[in-house]
Amino acid sequence: MSAIGIVANPASGKDVRRLVARASVFDNREKCAIIRRALTGAVNAGADKFVYLDDSHNIAGGALDELDVEVEATCIPNAGTNSALDTLRGAEALKGKCDAVLILGGDGTSRAFVKGWRTANLLPLSTGTNNVFPRLSEATVAGAAIGILAAGGVTEEEVMQPVKIIDVEIEGEAPDIALIDAVVTNDMFIGSRALLDGAAISRIFLTRAEPMAVGMTSVGGLMQPLPEEEDAGLSLELGKGGRKKIHAPIAPGLYDTLRVRSCKPVGFGETISFEGPCVLAFDGEREREVQAGQKVTMSISRTGPAVLNIEKAMQLAACRGWFS
């Protein structure tokens, strides 16, 4: 029996886009309820060992306390920075203590976790603003799927799917990553982290381009859809002079019109290179300032995490009589 890791980000689903774009709010009481349902599913699928990252609102710990069955639960202390560093450090601490991790948050939460544990087996559930990487699933069923994996009803090879990742090399600085989009803006300073002004965007590099999503992935998706299964990324150059106009939802409830100068696929092994000054945004949030003349290189591969296929895990378990 392997352990299930649990990470719940108390800050996800609460940023400025609730004011500007009227995005949904996920309060911590609801997050605790989601974790509780996922735990119920996992326990009823046979799981009984959990390792959870402590958080400022006791989301995961509170959900475990409310279980009506006895399980083995280990708490990992929080770094206490009240930033994405808590998730990154938590991922480093969870590494080797569990075989799969349930994450509550948005794209940014998953990215912070992967920065700390790049090759983790993940089940990310949506409670953030940009929810392209996390899965939209009822927590009870999602919990059952990861519980089946932990209890040995299915194997990693059967249900874990490696996903694409963008590697970002910045001259003279630490590298970075993105799971969905790496965006270049013509800003000089980070300022507000949310990407809310399409006119400031000069480049978008995507692991997937989805017309049914919001955020930067929708810009590519409404032009040239690119699924997660295809071994390639999509590179867009934007700005004045762009002949193509795309009217896209760049945030929940917020559309903008962007001028696209070029849109082309980028294969594994290819690179995108450019120089500053600019600001880099990853998975929906501005993160890094690049100085004038400083070189940046981006590439895409499947050398990052794997994500649990909930439907496949449940189908295999049903066919094997796991719940009989």
pLDDT value, residue 243: 86
Q: Indicate the range of 6-10, 57-61, 188-192, 285-289 predicted with least confidence.
A: 188-192
In this structure, the number of other CB atoms found within 10 A of the CB of residue 38 comes to 29
DSSP bridge partners of 265: 234
Q: How far apart are CA 309 and CA 18, in angstroms?
A: 30
Instruction: For residue 140, give the H/E element and its range.
Output: helix 139-151
Ramachandran assignment for 152, one of left (phi > 0), alpha (psi -120 to 50 degrees), beta (any other): left
pLDDT digits (tens, 9 = 90+) for 76-103: 999 988 888 999 999 999 999 999 999 9
Q: How far apart are CA 64 and CA 234, in angstroms?
A: 41
Is residue 296 packed enough to be buried (19+ CB in 10 Å), middle (13-18) or exposed (0-12)? buried
Q: Which residue has the tokens 């919990």?
A: 143
What letter represents residue 243's amino acid? Answer: R
3-state secondary structure of 214: coil
In this structure, the number of other CB atoms found within 10 A of the CB of residue 311 comes to 13
pLDDT digits (tens, 9 = 90+) for 222-273: 999 999 999 999 999 999 888 899 999 998 889 999 999 999 999 999 999 9
3-state secondary structure of 184: strand
pLDDT above 80 (res 19): no
pLDDT above 90 (res 144): yes
Give the pLDDT band of residue 22 (cuts 50, 70, 90).
Answer: low
Give which of 265, 261, 324, 260 is closest to 300, Cα–Cα: 265
pTM check: above 0.85: yes
* 61, two tokens: 């710990």
